[in-house]
Structure 1
Amino acid sequence: MKLPTSVSFWRTTTLVVLVLFLFNALFVVRITPRFTRSAPAAAPQGASRATEDSISAYAAAVIPEQGVVLPVAWGDLGSKMIASGVIDQQAFESIYQNRGGLTEEEQAMLSGTLAGDVRITPQNAGVLLNVLWAFGLANKNPVLDQGPMQDPEYGGAGRFASTGGWTLASGDPMDHYSMHEFVTLTSEQQQMVERVAQGIYRPCCGNSVYFPDCNHGMAMLGLLELMAANGVAEADMYRYALAVNAYWFPETYLTIAKYLGTQGLSWQDAAPKEILGYDFSSSAGYQNIAAQVEPVSSGGGGGCGV
């Protein structure tokens, strides 16, 4: 039976519209740039790999996994600090029990005798920070007795994070503040310690090591004293201090290395004394660097407590 003309017309029209709709749908999905703009994923993945490779290259130079051997003799300093009450052994071991425990070498450093090298690594940087903090706090030194820590403006040396924050002593930490002659320096060695201390900053604050108001400053003061007692030259003291600061503040120094790269310089080209100075290593100096380059995130580093 022949359909009426009007029915035939509408059937044809419906088919044409359906075909156009399907074609348009295909065209939008496969051709229109609305979708191709959001599609490419290969470039970001490649860029991400390049960034990771770059960070790995910085890390190999700044915080090498194998660590850095420090030119100090530790011996039985840990045992002496336990015997004098500077370190409460049970309290110290307890906090590290919750962090996976101490290695054999770390245990020897704390409560035995470490006859071999003192090596700082990404894994033991926190332990070294704490034992050096205890040493810097307790060892008799004019920096603590006559320096900025004693300024009446601050209401007493016991009000700082480096003193009141040392909660791993037996009793009041101020009972041990500059009270023990574990290491005695000559006049020349002391002058060098003070000179170098005034040139080393840390990104958690704006103070130099000469004003060791936090744990990192106090620990670095202790390290400088040990290096001076071991006859380390002034230029080398800066070099080792930079290596140690980098393990304590990895994100800071990886970012600085990245910034140096934008200036056409490698980490090895950098002068340790300059990098440890106010313009790079103080809180304000580092913030200025971080504003010029995207900061590196490593997930490492600690705060100003035990």
Structure 2
Amino acid sequence: MNKIKEILYSSLIILIIILFGFTPVLPKAFSAINWGDLGVKMVEAGVIDKDKFENLYSRRGGLTEANKKLLYGTNNENLAVNSENSGMMLNMLWAFGLANKNPILENGPMMDPRYGGAGNFASTGGWTLAKGSAMDHYSMHSFVTLTSEQQILVEKVSKGIFRPCCQNSTYFPDCNHGMAMLGLLELMASQGATETDMHKTAQEVNALWFPPIQQKSVTGCGA
């Protein structure tokens, strides 16, 4: 029955285009983010040391033109995380999630005294591509400021998104993937995404960062 509905709907759209010469406005799925010039801002703030970053990628064959645009470009719109850029976006979102000022980092599980401080996690101690230490930038930069409603949404969604490497939620971003996902949720919320949008995109991105063939043997959260 659903297949028949899809066929009828598609036929109706084609008929409208033929009769009236235009394409109807269809509901837009939130599958992309506006990255803008966040790479530039993070380099300027020292969250990313461009020399360290480029040196890392030089051992992987160097930054591609698409990667350079993410890092140095100023007009990165309609950016979707996909199989080609998922590794680069993991690192970019990791840096953003770590550095962007947010109550989750300041008042959430990362600050629980029993863990000995936020600097003891893989998501912080593992970020060695900054100028200075990662903690010099931890929740220190207002790259994106959320409204109270957007913050509530991020907190709600982050508590329901888990990663297979450690089974912690994004609300406890103790590894690079968790911190990167927090950054993605913050960006999406700031750009008007709904709760459904955020859950759907988070699941799709997690599938890229944790391919099914790797999930069976995942023992850590390495990039």
TM-score scaled by structure 1?
0.60
Aligned-partner Cα distance in 2 for 1:96–1:70: 27
SS in 2 for 1:101: coil
Aligned Cα root-mean-square deviation (Å): 2.1
Q: How far apart are residue 302 of structure 1 and its match?
A: 11
Distance of aligned partners of 1:136 and 1:302 in 2 relative to their CA distance in 1, 3 Å threshold: farther
Task: Identify which of 228, 232, 235 aligns with 2:193.
Answer: 232
Task: Identify which of 87, 90, 101 aligns with 2:51.
Answer: 90
Q: How many residues align?
A: 195
Pair 1:203-2:164 in alignment: yes
Aligned-partner Cα distance in 2 for 1:74–1:216: 18
Pair 1:127-2:44 in alignment: no
Aligned-partner Cα distance in 2 for 1:244–1:122: 9
Q: How far apart are residue 117 of structure 1 and its match?
A: 2.3
Check the 8 A contact 1:160/1:213 in 2, yes or no: yes
Percent identical among aligned pairs is 62
- Residues 211-250 of structure 1: pairs in structure 2 closer than 5 A: 211-250=172-211
Aligned-partner Cα distance in 2 for 1:153–1:222: 25
Q: How far apart are residue 113 of structure 1 and its match?
A: 1.7
Letter in 1 for 2:204: A
Q: How far apart are residue 252 of structure 1 and its match?
A: 5.7
Distance of aligned partners of 1:82 and 1:187 in 2 relative to their CA distance in 1, 3 Å threshold: same
Aligned-partner Cα distance in 2 for 1:116–1:187: 25
- Residues 4-23 of structure 1: pairs in structure 2 closer than 5 A: none
SS in 2 for 1:163: helix
Task: Identify which of 37, 41, 48 aligns with 1:80.
Answer: 41
Pair 1:116-2:77 in alignment: yes
**Unaligned runs of at least 5 residues, structure 2:** 1-28
Check the 8 A contact 2:33/2:80 in 1, yes or no: no
Aligned-partner Cα distance in 1 for 2:220–2:66: 24
Aligned to 1:292: none
Aligned-partner Cα distance in 2 for 1:303–1:101: 26
Aligned-partner Cα distance in 2 for 1:115–1:207: 31
Letter in 2 for 1:106: N
Aligned-partner Cα distance in 1 for 2:91–2:120: 19
Residue by residue, what CA displacement relative to the aligned partner does 1:207-239 show, whole Å, maximum 9, x if unpaired? 100000000000000000000000001011000
Q: How far apart are residue 206 of structure 1 and its match?
A: 2.3
Residue by residue, what CA displacement relative to the aligned partner does 1:80-127 show, whole Å, maximum 9, x if unpaired? 000000001111111111112222121111122243321222232111
